[in-house]
Amino acid sequence: MPGLSPHITPLQIRFSDLDRLGHVNNAVFLQYMETSRVEYFNLVLGPRHNWQKFGFVVARNEIDYLLPIYLNDEIFCSTRCLRIGNKSLTIENVIYKKQKRKKLVAARGVGILVAMDYQSMKSIPLPDAWVKKIRDFEKKSLK
């Protein structure tokens, strides 16, 4: 299945996520992807990472909406790193919904995150320790 990584976040659909047509509003997909991305980095970078000093800002988001999601759908999001640059990462999120024992791709998103020093409010090169942790995690996901 394209995009499915070992990092999977189950998602809860709230009534307030729905639009007038009864499906999840397009803007909410970004929130679902953000939830999965935050869990991914908490897992990969570890519980001792100081998010008050260093982290990421979103530079770009792109989403392909493929299937509608409704209130009673069972959904989850996979997150993986597609590319590691000097100061940025490309992250892929895929939102799946279960339907008749199948996992269908409801949306696929790609985001570019820039490493930041939150104290100076400037971008920074990706720390070697982060790169190593991400590569180690992604290698495990290929096995």
pLDDT digits (tens, 9 = 90+) for 78-111: 999 999 999 999 999 999 999 888 999 999 999 9
- pLDDT score at 48: 87
| Both tokens assigned to 26 | 């397009």
Residue type, 54: F
Fold type of domain 8-142:
Thiol Ester Dehydrase; Chain A (3.10.129)
Model pLDDT for residues 11-61, shown as the tens digit of each residue: 999 999 999 999 999 999 999 999 999 999 999 999 888 989 999 999 999
Q: Is 96 in a helix, a strand, or coil?
A: strand
> Tokens at residue 100, please?
């008749």
Residues 93/108/69/79 CA torsion (nearest 10 deg): -10
Distances (CA, A) of 23 to 33, 62, 70, 98: 17, 20, 5, 15
Burial of 64 (C-beta count, 10 Å sphere; 0-12/13-18/19+): exposed
Considering only CA atoms, which of 4, 34, 7 is closest in space to residue 133? 7
Domain spans, the chain: 8-142
DSSP-derived letter for residue 15 is G
Q: Give bridge partners of residue 108 from the DSSP assignment.
A: 64, 94
